[in-house]
A and B are shown apart, each in its own frame.
Chain A
Amino acid sequence: MGRMGFSPKHACLTDEKDPNRQKITNLTSCLLVSCQLNLHCEVRPPFSSKFPLPFFPSLPIGTKATKMSTAFSAANFSTQSFPLNHTSTTSHDSPLVFAKPTSQFLRSTRKLRLSSSSKLNLNRRSGTVVAVSDVVKQKKSKSTPTLLITKEEGLELYEDMVLGRAFEDMCAQMYYRGKMFGFVHLYNGQEAVSTGFIKLLKQQDSVVSTYRDHVHALSKGVPARAVMSELFGKTTGCCRGQGGSMHMFSREHNLLGGFAFIGEGIPVATGAAFTSKYKREVLKEADCDHVTLAFFGDGTCNNGQFFECLNMAALWKLPIVFVVENNLWAIGMSHLRSTSDPQIYKKGPAFGMPGIHVDGMDVLKVREVAKEAIGRARRGEGPTLVECETYRFRGHSLADPDELRDPAEKAHYAARDPITALKKYLTENNLASDAELKAIDKKIDEVVEDAVEFADESPVPPRSQLLENVFADPKGFGIGPDGRYRCEDPKFTEGTAHV
Chain B
Amino acid sequence: MVLVLRNYKLRNSRLVPSPFPTTLTGCSKPQILRPFSFQLSPMAAIFQGVGAAAALPSSPSYSFDSNKSVFSPRRSFSVRKGASFAVVRSDGTVNLNPKDRRAQLLISNAVATKADSAAASSSSKPGHELLLFEALLEGLEEEMERDPHVCVMGEDVGHYGGSYKVTKGLAKKFGDLRVLDTPIAENSFTGMGIGAAMTGLRPVVEGMNMGFLLLAFNQISNNCGMLHYTSGGQFTIPIVIRGPGGVGRQLGAEHSQRLESYFQSIPGIQMVACSTPYNAKGLMKAAIRSENPVILFEHVLLYNLKERIPDEDYICNLEEAEMVRPGEHVTILTYSRMRYHVMQAAKTLVNKGYDPEVIDIRSLKPFDLFTIGNSVKKTHRVLIVEECMRTGGIGASLTAAITENFNDYLDAPIMCLSSQDVPTPYAGTLEEVTVVQPAQIVTAVEQLCQ
Contact with A along B193-235 (1 / 0, CB 8 A): 1111111110000000000000000110011000111111111
CB <8 Å contact, B29 and A312: no
Closest residue of chain A to B365 (Cβ to Cβ) is A478
Q: Which residues of B contact A249 (CB under 8 A)?
A: 227, 230-232, 234-235
Q: Is B35 an interface residue (CB 8 A)?
A: no
CB <8 Å contact, B228 and A472: yes
* CB of A89 to closest CB in B, whole Å: 46
Interface size class of B (residues with CB under 8 A): 35 or more
CB <8 Å contact, B177 and A470: no
Q: Which residues of A contact B233 (CB under 8 A)?
A: 240, 468-469, 472
A-B contact count (CB 8 A): 197
Q: Which residues of B contact A266 (CB under 8 A)?
A: 188, 191
Q: Which residues of A contact B219 (CB under 8 A)?
A: 264, 267
Q: Is A439 an interface residue (CB 8 A)?
A: no
* CB of B112 to closest CB in A, whole Å: 13
* CB of A192 to closest CB in B, whole Å: 27
Of B177, B187, B232, the residue contacting A241 (CB under 8 A) is: B232
Q: For chain A, residues 223 to 249, give those with C-beta under 8 angstroms from any C-beta of chain B.
A: 237-244, 247, 249
Q: Which residues of B contact A481 (CB under 8 A)?
A: 369-370, 373, 405-406
Q: Is A26 an interface residue (CB 8 A)?
A: no
CB <8 Å contact, A308 and B183: yes
Q: Is B190 an interface residue (CB 8 A)?
A: yes
CB <8 Å contact, A278 and B201: yes
| Bound CA span A251–B235, Å | 7
Of B188, B198, B290, the residue contacting A308 (CB under 8 A) is: B188
CB <8 Å contact, B196 and A272: yes
Q: Is A98 an interface residue (CB 8 A)?
A: no
Of B196, B267, B370, the residue contacting A271 (CB under 8 A) is: B196
| Bound CA span A271–B219, Å | 12
Interface centre among A241, A270, A277, A315 (most CB of B within 10 A): A270
CB <8 Å contact, A308 and B187: yes
CB <8 Å contact, B236 and A472: yes
Q: Which residues of A contact B267 (CB under 8 A)?
A: 470
CB <8 Å contact, A473 and B235: no
CB <8 Å contact, A473 and B192: no
A contact residues, total (Cβ < 8 Å):
63
If A274-B196, A282-B148 touch, whether A478 touches B319 (CB-CB below 8 Å) is yes
Q: Is A269 an interface residue (CB 8 A)?
A: yes
Q: Is B189 an interface residue (CB 8 A)?
A: yes
If A272-B196, A305-B191 touch, whether A278 touches B177 (CB-CB below 8 Å) is yes
If A282-B177, A308-B183 touch, whether A271 touches B230 (CB-CB below 8 Å) is no
Contact with A along B56-72 (1 / 0, CB 8 A): 00000000000000000
Contact with B along A445-474 (1 / 0, CB 8 A): 000000000000000000000001111110
Q: Which residues of B contact A402 (CB under 8 A)?
A: none
CB <8 Å contact, A274 and B192: yes
| Bound CA span A486–B365, Å | 13
CB <8 Å contact, A283 and B198: no
Of A247, A257, A261, the residue contacting B218 (CB under 8 A) is: A261
Q: Is B102 an interface residue (CB 8 A)?
A: no
| Bound CA span A478–B190, Å | 25
| Bound CA span A470–B366, Å | 13
If A471-B268, A479-B369 touch, whether A239 touches B231 (CB-CB below 8 Å) is yes
If A249-B235, A469-B233, A470-B267 touch, whether A480 touches B183 (CB-CB below 8 Å) is no
Of B223, B229, B291, the residue contacting A264 (CB under 8 A) is: B223
Write 20 A-B pairs (CB below 8 A) sorted by A numbering.
Answer: A239-B232, A242-B232, A247-B230, A257-B227, A270-B188, A274-B195, A274-B201, A278-B151, A282-B151, A283-B148, A304-B188, A305-B188, A312-B192, A469-B233, A472-B237, A475-B318, A475-B319, A476-B318, A476-B366, A481-B405
